[in-house]
Amino acid sequence: MPRLTIDGREIEVPAGTTVIQAAEKLGIFIPRYCYHPGLSIAGNCRICLVEVEKFPKLQIACNMPVADGMVVHTKSENAEDGRRAVLEFLLANHPLDCPVCDQSGECDLQNFYMNFGLYDPRFREQKNKKKKAVELGPHVMLDQERCILCSRCVRFTDEITKTGEFGIFNRGDRAELGLYPGEVLDNPYATNVVDICPVGALTERDFRFKARVWYLSSAPTVCNGCSQGCNIDLHFLPDRPHLNDGARVVRVKPRYNAEVNEWWLCDEGRFGFGWVDRGRLGAVRGPKTNGAEATWETALAAISEAISGASDGARVGVIASTQLTCEELFLVREIFRKSLGARVTASVPERPGSSDDFLVKADKTPNTRGATLLGLMGSDDAEAIVNDALAGELDVLWIFEHDAIDLFGEEKARKLPEKLRLLVFSGTNESATADLAHWVLPTAAYVEKDGTFVNHHGRLQRVGPAFPPFGDSREDWRVLMDLARMLDLPLEWRGPREVFRALAEAEAPFGDLTYDKIGSDGVAIAPAEEAAAP
Amino acid sequence: MKLEELDGRAAEIIARYEYPKAAMLPLLWLVQENQGWISPEAETWVGKTLGVARSHVREVVTFYNMYHTAPVGRRELRVCTSLPCLLRGSGEVMRRIRDELGIEPGETTADGAVTLTEVECLCACEMSPMGQLDEAFTGPLDDGAMDTLLRTAREAPETSTPLPEPEPYISTDGPILSTRFKNVEGTWFDEYVADGGYRAAEKALKTMTPEEVIQEVTNANLRGLGGAGFPTGRKWSFVPKNSEKPVFLVANADEGEPGTFKDRYLMERDPHALIEGMIISAFAIGSHKGYVYIRGEYFRSAKRLQRAIDEAHAKGWLGKDVQGTGFDLDIVIHRGAGAYICGEETALLTSIEGGKGFPKLKPPFPAISGLFRCPTIVNNVESLCCVPFILRNGAERFAAIGTETQGGTRLFCVSGHVVRPGVYEASVSVTLRSLIEDAAGGVRNGKKLKAVIPGGISAKVLTADQIDVAMDFNALMEAGSMAGSGGVIVMDETTCMVEALDSASRFFADESCGQCSPCREGTGWIHRILKRVGAGNGRLEELDDLLAIAGDMEGKTICVFADAAAWPVQSYITKFRDEFEDFIRSGRAIGKREADACPA
């Protein structure tokens, strides 16, 4: 393996590594615009110029293969002057409309100017005029004047989606980014171009003028839009309800995970977060007794009483959801199936959604594989439980998350409350099923709680709370543990972290894992090829 | 006509190439020849035919400036206003054409007769000031020639009389490259063979190994005559032996450096010399497929070379089993479409591959991974044309004609303020003074010499007292300039250096491919400053800005275009600083009659 020196520090890297990659391994950041590790090398922006001994000219680090004995300087006067020059060229025709640019605050023209520029600008000419605020499609807005023509987006649509929408037309400083006239950028991964655009040329229409990025908080989590489990960062406004129509979630950005989604995210997932702030269940609803408002305490008391009152555990049914975390599914299993002998399943007759051979999976829930590992798939099924309930064989039915009308049809669903002593619905959002239930328990969105999901490929991944549960909603795990207490089934765990440890001890695939060991990248715990049971 | 009717022709064109996408430029030409312009429907058809996204077809259409993105007149009149033509009065020519046609560049006359296009150098500076009506070059455009041109331009192309053939001075007495230039209509197969043609190829193929050929060319001290001067034999030796991939030989006939007009004469008057040179070179590097990349404006060169290629095929010098030797070689002509940058060897390759003329990142170098990612050698037409002479007469003979570091002769192109602009073959040891004074008859109208660009517009300018320099690569480099493409642009004492630099900077701003940020932004920036200075709105301190911006562009880009754009700025301002300062101080402006006092 070649051994080279960068800024006086030695490193050995595999042959074929480029200088920019080797530097990164040493923690030395070389600025870049056109370079993106997920795309081919374009070498056009020239900002990554470094000095390589024995080379008369500065070299671009993104295309420079390492060689044994190579000596690289990224901070020499020569290299710094080269970067300064390149930056001044890049900014020459840039409109500098930062005050009205959504990229401001996360713009690499701003960042690199502060870190590598700081020159006195000499450009006094009329700047090139190009098109501004061009709607490329439902989600992406183009500003040709801000574009530095790095071609990342062109390469993304050529190499990743292979849809080829983008082109750079004309030449010289008349060159401009655009789509073929009349075309629309609406491929299923289109908005990734906003993420990879290093400047404010491509921005998100949904985010347009919503908030300055420095007001945003960020929390790492996993997308629950399908069983792929793409890693994401949730960007939210914790304390500025006057912005974004009061919604906390502002936008979602893909978070790099080599094993799951690399740098990318589908638009379906990206724009599938409206439910976190809209149509939420914010308060417990139940039969009014003595004019008192329903509370968590009255609800859980009534529910535990009904469960205890059932003549037989088998007259209690639970239709769990693969939207629940592994910890919650484990609690459902331990409390209802193990302790009470209730009928429990997470299998529901859900129609598969659209899918492709890249990231989008047909299973639109995040944790089917987790439910499978916990034995909650296929062992019973929701349809049978509902039919038995309608036949009068159940006293209590608890439906987690699912819309019974959607799954079982209007006719069956509407009969459920009459046939059951108690129909409980717990979920995050309003639904027709919620209106049928005797008790409605508002639960936390997964971005409001701790836990784990196992994706389609058998990878165990952490989710964590970005912000507290909405309104009076509570995390499912908390609800389940409270219920267990009221049922006199004391559980010694204090929270998801401990539930997980118990789960891991009980279920071999989870082995000796802990939250710390799972880390931010997740761990493969089951073979990738084994398809999750439907 | 319907585009689908072109499907058959398209299939034939695609079959010439290794990949369908490479047929991009020829298919666009096909469309334009049939429909007059490239419509959106045509872009869709080309994209579908080649399996390329429409966006990328449009990228190509808008990159090359010979493709029309809107309907044009029955005829197109291109008028050159680059430096060599500017020196000989293209400003006045353009003014008269605009006045008489009543349109601005980019517009079409109301009757749809003619579209006027202002173009950068067409590399016909021997006839400057010049223009091109459809395919025909015409010049020098004195009053009489202008009358004829303007009359013809309005005539229907089918029935109009051809423009008179320009008659500039062209060397015909050799010793190496111009011996058959007396054949104005072209030297065809029989005449070429009668003059000793194809004997060198026969010798190479039948009696020599590729290594021996490379050695012979190395011994001859032949250096690349496109501009860089890299030793040709050494370049050939970089091709990996026993490459599993096919090896390509590409002749660079994208003659584009302002002030250069030699390759056109080689292709039009002695095309078999190029073919023979390519046969020998291909044999030396183990190539069985050659491309000739001819600039789009050289319509006649492409036609004549194609005729010669067809002859060579018929006579068994191309195709399978050349002359029974078992060696195969096919040559395909690929026409450019109006982009100077395609003369840069890797941009040329990208252009053959069907893309915008973007230079490729190095490493890898073309000899390892070039055209279609296969080992590729790109040689200039003139270099290739020297090869038959070397094999026929021996490396020693060729080397002896030149200097210690460079063998042979060059076709020097002398333009600008000389008595007799033209092509002059001379040993590379000839001095710049001798070329100007002896060959080209000295500075015209009895004026004094002010400055000379010795190797095309990219070369640094030399002052009148620097012309006692030999014209070989090393000598000119030592003199602080470069031999480049051999284009000698002569400027007399009446030349306004601000105007000259403004013109040069417009050329680079127009022709930058726009790939690398320093070049894309720098060329435009410099041109805008110079335009402002030229309009009388400059400031003294901006001369230093110009020098600094030029310095910032140097050595930071994929190819050397940015450097070439920087050198004129640096050399003009440094060597003629007083004139620039005086221009700014006086508040004069380019092109105003009262500014005739420029230079002071």
CATH code for position B138: 3.40.30.10
Residues from chain A contacting residue B556 (CB–CB below 8 Å): 46, 49, 57-58, 82, 85-86
Comparing CA positions, the residue from B41, B339, B118 lying closest to residue B348 is B339
**B467: CATH:** 3.10.20.600
How far does B144 lie from chain A, in Å, by closest CA? Answer: 37
User: Given an 8 Å threshold on Cβ–Cβ distance, is A165 in contact with B514?
Assistant: no
pLDDT of residue A533: 45
User: Given an 8 Å threshold on Cβ–Cβ distance, is A172 in contact with B555?
Assistant: no
Q: Which of B345, B380, B401 is the last residue of a domain?
A: B401
Cross-chain CB nearest to B556 (options A85, A173, A180): A85
Rg of chain B taking only CA atoms, in angstroms: 23
Residue type, B424: Y
Residues from chain A contacting residue B532 (CB–CB below 8 Å): 125
Residue B178 lies in a domain: no
User: Given an 8 Å threshold on Cβ–Cβ distance, is B521 in contact with A183?
Assistant: no
Q: Does residue B381 share a domain with residue B240?
A: yes
How far does A54 lie from chain B, in Å, by closest CA? Answer: 15
Task: Using the structure block, give the residue that is written with the tokens 């893309």.
Answer: B355
Residue type, A27: G
B563 touching chain A per CB within 8 A: no
Residue B33 lies in a domain: yes
Q: Does residue B233 share a domain with residue B337?
A: yes
pLDDT band at B600 (very low <50, low <70, confident <90, very high): very low
pLDDT of residue A290: 62
User: Given an 8 Å threshold on Cβ–Cβ distance, is A45 in contact with B517?
Assistant: yes
pLDDT band at B595 (very low <50, low <70, confident <90, very high): very low
pLDDT of residue B592: 62
Which H/E stretch holds residue A251? Answer: strand A249-254
The 3-state secondary structure of A300-311 reads: HHHHHHHHHHCC
Q: How far apart are CA B487 and CA B582, in angstroms?
A: 29
Q: Per the structure, how many domains does chain B have?
A: 5
Q: Does residue B352 share a domain with residue B377?
A: yes
Q: How far apart are CA A171 and CA A149, in angstroms?
A: 11
User: Given an 8 Å threshold on Cβ–Cβ distance, is B521 in contact with A93?
Assistant: yes
Residues from chain A contacting residue B528 (CB–CB below 8 Å): 125-126
Question: Which of the residues A49, A52, A145, A171 would you substitute to probe the B interface, choosing the one with the greatest number of B C-beta atoms within 10 Å?
Answer: A171
Q: How does pLDDT run across B465-483, given as a tens digit for each residue?
A: 999 999 999 999 999 999 9
The CATH class of the A3-92 domain is alpha beta
User: Given an 8 Å threshold on Cβ–Cβ distance, is A46 in contact with B59?
Assistant: no
Question: Which of the residues B517, B529, B560 would you substitute to probe the A interface, choosing the one with the greatest number of A C-beta atoms within 10 Å?
Answer: B517
State the virtual CA torsion across B576, B577, B583, B585 in degrees, nearest 10.
-160
B380 touching chain A per CB within 8 A: no
Question: Which of the residues B356, B506, B521 would you substitute to probe the A interface, choosing the one with the greatest number of A C-beta atoms within 10 Å?
Answer: B521
Domain A296-524 has CATH 3.90.100.10: no
**What stretch(es) of chain A map to CATH 3.30.70.20?**
125-276
Query: What's the N-to-C CA distance of chain A in angstroms?
Result: 47
Q: How does pLDDT run across A131-175, given as a tens digit for each residue?
A: 999 999 999 999 999 999 999 999 999 999 999 999 999 999 999
Residues in chain A: 534
Q: How does pLDDT run across B403-447, given as a tens digit for each residue?
A: 999 999 999 999 999 999 999 999 999 999 999 999 999 999 999
User: Given an 8 Å threshold on Cβ–Cβ distance, is A173 in contact with B549?
Assistant: no
Cross-chain CB nearest to B59 (options A60, A92, A168): A168
Q: Does residue B339 share a domain with residue B220?
A: yes
Q: Does residue B350 share a domain with residue B214?
A: yes
Which H/E stretch holds residue A50? Answer: strand A49-52
Q: How does pLDDT run across B524-544, given as a tens digit for each residue?
A: 999 999 999 999 999 999 999
Cis ω before B364 (30° cut-off from 0): yes
How far does B513 lie from chain A, in Å, by closest CA? Answer: 5
Q: Between the CA of residue A503 and those of A221, A451, A456, B534, what are the distances in Å?
A: 21, 12, 19, 80
How far does A165 lie from chain B, in Å, by closest CA? Answer: 6
Residues from chain B contacting residue A59 (CB–CB below 8 Å): none
Q: Does residue B446 share a domain with residue B358?
A: no
pLDDT of residue B593: 47
Q: How far apart are CA A395 and CA A438, in angstroms?
A: 12
Q: Does residue B424 share a domain with residue B388?
A: no
Average pLDDT across chain B, whole number: 96
Q: Does residue B336 share a domain with residue B259?
A: yes
Domain A125-276 has CATH 3.30.70.20: yes
Task: Using the structure block, give the residue that is written with the tokens 């710049």.
Answer: B432
SS3 category, A487? coil
Which H/E stretch holds residue B379? Answer: strand B376-380
Q: Which two tokens stand for residue A405?
A: 């009308």
How far does A138 lie from chain B, in Å, by closest CA? Answer: 19
How far does B346 lie from chain A, in Å, by closest CA? Answer: 14
SS3 category, B380? strand
Residue B176 lies in a domain: no
Q: Does residue B469 share a domain with residue B510?
A: no
Q: Does residue B578 share a domain with residue B533?
A: yes
Comparing CA positions, the residue from A264, A211, A199 lying closest to residue A237 is A211
**What stretch(es) of chain A map to CATH 3.10.20.740?**
3-92
State the virtual CA torsion across B500, B503, B505, B508 in degrees, nearest 10.
-130
pLDDT at B597 over 50: no
Angle made by CA atoms B169, B172, B176, in degrees to the nearest 5: 130
B552 touching chain A per CB within 8 A: yes
Q: Which two tokens stand for residue A39?
A: 């795309």
**What stretch(es) of chain A map to CATH 3.40.50.740?**
296-524
**B546: CATH:** 1.20.1440.230
Q: Does residue B299 share a domain with residue B335?
A: yes
User: Given an 8 Å threshold on Cβ–Cβ distance, is A180 in contact with B55?
Assistant: yes
Ordered per-residue pLDDT tens for chain A, 534 residues: 999 999 999 999 999 999 999 999 999 999 999 999 999 999 999 999 999 999 999 999 999 999 999 999 999 999 999 999 999 999 999 999 999 999 999 999 999 999 988 899 999 999 999 999 999 999 999 999 999 999 999 999 999 999 999 999 999 999 999 999 999 999 999 999 999 999 999 999 999 999 999 999 999 999 999 999 999 999 999 889 899 999 999 999 999 999 999 999 999 999 999 999 999 999 999 986 666 789 999 999 999 999 998 889 999 999 999 999 999 999 999 999 999 999 999 999 888 899 999 999 999 999 999 999 999 998 788 999 999 999 999 999 999 999 999 999 999 999 999 999 999 999 999 998 899 999 999 999 999 999 999 999 999 999 999 999 999 999 999 999 999 999 999 788 999 999 999 999 999 999 899 999 999 999 999 987 555 444
Question: Residue B572 belongs to what domain range?
Answer: 497-597
Residue B285 lies in a domain: yes
Cis ω before B140 (30° cut-off from 0): yes
Comparing CA positions, the residue from A269, A194, A193, A282 lying closest to residue A234 is A269
User: Given an 8 Å threshold on Cβ–Cβ distance, is A170 in contact with B63?
Assistant: yes
The ipTM (two decimal places) reads 0.96
Q: Does residue B510 share a domain with residue B450?
A: no
pLDDT of residue A310: 86
Q: Which two tokens stand for residue B6?
A: 């072109």
B53 touching chain A per CB within 8 A: yes
**B381: CATH:** 3.40.50.11540
